[in-house]
Amino acid sequence: MVLSTDPPVGSSPPPVQPTTAVSAPGKVLLAGGYLVLDRGYTGLVFGLSARISVIAAPITTEPGVHLAEIVVQSPQFIDATWRYGFHLAEQEGGITVTQLHVGSKISRNPFVETTLTYALTYIHHVSRDDQTHSLASTQLTILADNDYYSLPSTATRSTSDEPAAPKGRFARYPHTLSEAHKTGLGSSAALVTSLTAALLSHYLPTLLFDPASAAGEQTLHNLAQSAHCAAQGKVGSGFDVAAAVFGSCRYRRFSPSLLSDLPAPGSAGFAAALARRVDGHKGWDTEVRKEGAVMPKGVVLRMCDVDCGSQTVGMVKKVLAWRAAEGEGSKKLWDALQERNEALADVLGRGDTGEIPGALAAVRELVREMGTASGVPIEPESQTELLDALGEVDGVFGGVVPGAGGFDALALLMRDDEETERRVEAFLEDWSRKKDARVKLLAVKGEVEGVRAEDLSVYAGWLP
């Protein structure tokens, strides 16, 4: 804990900031896996009802004593508390964040640490002319909806018998965050987006950041993309962050050069360069379109957890190596797949449920062809068998292995009624028993809305 009798960053004692809460959705890339890495193509991405929430609350101290500290906790997991000191670097280097010991050990969380560095740097830079503003110490609480992680049989979901936790929405896990098994719903992008939004909303007045405005959404998108790419150590396509901010959309990536030349955090000029990049809305060539990113009336997007994730990074490298080596042949396949992806979006946009099975099958056909050509199991045989069998269940229109493919969660389009849900659950239970597998229908559903403010009552029992 860093204690000081002077304000930590700023020219006056920090005002008491209100407690704020925001959430951002997970994602599923229904069509456009691999293609979305190239600006010549697009992806059809849906937001999900599974959200990651961040609650930002002030840390109160004795009069005249100021903390220069950010405390981050994820109380669903064991040993999930991170403490950071922060200070202003010289020569416009921005806010430098340093992790502090919790007891005798330090466990790194690069997504949290990088997001704090980028968000606090931006906040301080854009508000430095406000003489009443200072970066007060803050406690951040992260809560993830259950479907982000496979729940071990030894874990318990919160119940009314546990007064410290609300019923149903957030599970307690008997292990650390690093040991958790993700279901592939985009937890890192949802975390970075909700954490960035919480910090901006907590520290900045509405005049400087209004999350409900188009300009506020664009600022959040640009800053969250910057932080997320830095945390990953590469400039990705950004479709997951776009879904977390804007919700379901047809997405065309930004040019990688937008972020590839930013100075390193803490180095001379980083703060000004970051602010220019984030605020230069017209310079971002991202395309986010809503048409076609909807489900027809009576149709719902559901996810199946197969509980054995894939090594996505290695798969992407192999597919991109194949594309570079094959040249014109791979381009021809990608162009054809783009046409089929767009046809699927058009079918969904028209609400023509009778055409959904054929549109999904057409996409899957070329995805398997790309997998065979590249030597990458984008739709593995076991997933093909499962998807084909699910397509025979009454009320199921079909599905895909979304995103980069492999053995992560399946995406299904099915009728939105209890009878279909029961049939699918019964089928998956029987399939798991016969195949000695663990496949289940997740509660998560497709959702149009992106980032949003939340009422604090949602988190009763979890707040400090």
125 and 254 part of one domain: yes
* 406-417 per-position pLDDT tens digit: 987 899 999 999
User: What pLDDT does 367 receive?
Assistant: 98
219 and 355 part of one domain: no
Q: Is the pTM of this model over 0.85?
A: yes
* 374-419 per-position pLDDT tens digit: 999 999 999 999 999 999 999 999 999 999 999 878 999 999 999 9
Residue 325 has pLDDT above 50, yes or no: yes
Structural domain contains residue 36: yes
285/62: higher pLDDT: 285
User: What pLDDT does 85 receive?
Assistant: 94
User: What pLDDT does 12 receive?
Assistant: 53
Residue 178 has pLDDT above 90, yes or no: no
Structural domain contains residue 438: yes
**Lowest pLDDT segment from 18-27, 187-196, 299-308:** 299-308
Structural domain contains residue 334: yes
Structural domain contains residue 464: no
276 and 307 part of one domain: no
153 and 196 part of one domain: yes
144 and 39 part of one domain: yes
User: What pLDDT does 165 receive?
Assistant: 41
171/40: higher pLDDT: 40
pLDDT band, very low/low/confident/very high, at 243 (cuts 50, 70, 90): very high
* 330-368 per-position pLDDT tens digit: 999 999 999 999 999 999 999 999 999 999 999 999 999
239 and 141 part of one domain: yes
What average pLDDT does this structure show over 91-98? 94
pLDDT band, very low/low/confident/very high, at 7 (cuts 50, 70, 90): very low
Residue 65 has pLDDT above 70, yes or no: no
Q: What is the three-state SS of the chain?
A: CCEECCCCCECCCCCCCCCEEEEEEEEEEEECCCHHHCCCCCEEEEEEEEEEEEEEEECCCCCCCEECEEEEECCCCCCCEEEEEEEECCCCCCEEEEEECECCECCCCHHHHHHHHHHHHHHHHHCCCCCCCECCCEEEEEEECHHHECCCCCCEECCCCCCCCCCCCCEECCCCHHHCCECCCCHHHHHHHHHHHHHHHHHCCCCCCCCCCHHHHHHHHHHHHHHHHHHHCCCCCCHHHHHHHHCCEEEECCCCHHHHCCCCCCCCCHHHHHHHHHHCHHHCCCEEECCCCCCCCCEEEEEEECCCCCCHHHHHHHHHHHHHHHCHHHHHHHHHHHHHHHHHHHHHHHCCHHHHHHHHHHHHHHHHHHHHHHCCCCCCHHHHHHHHHHCCCCCEEEEECCCCCCCCCEEEEEECCHHHHHHHHHHHHHHHHHHCCCCEEEEEEEECCCCEECCHHHHCCCCC
373 and 430 part of one domain: yes
pLDDT band, very low/low/confident/very high, at 306 (cuts 50, 70, 90): confident
Q: CATH number for the domain including 21?
A: 3.30.230.10
332 and 404 part of one domain: yes
275 and 306 part of one domain: no
Range of the domain at 309: 299-447
Residue 31 has pLDDT above 60, yes or no: yes
253 and 314 part of one domain: no
267 and 355 part of one domain: no
Structural domain contains residue 150: yes
Percentage of the chain lying above the pLDDT 90 cut: 74
Mean pLDDT of the chain: 89
**Lowest pLDDT segment from 57-71, 152-166, 291-305, 439-453:** 152-166
223 and 269 part of one domain: yes
Structural domain contains residue 234: yes
The domain tally of the chain equals 2
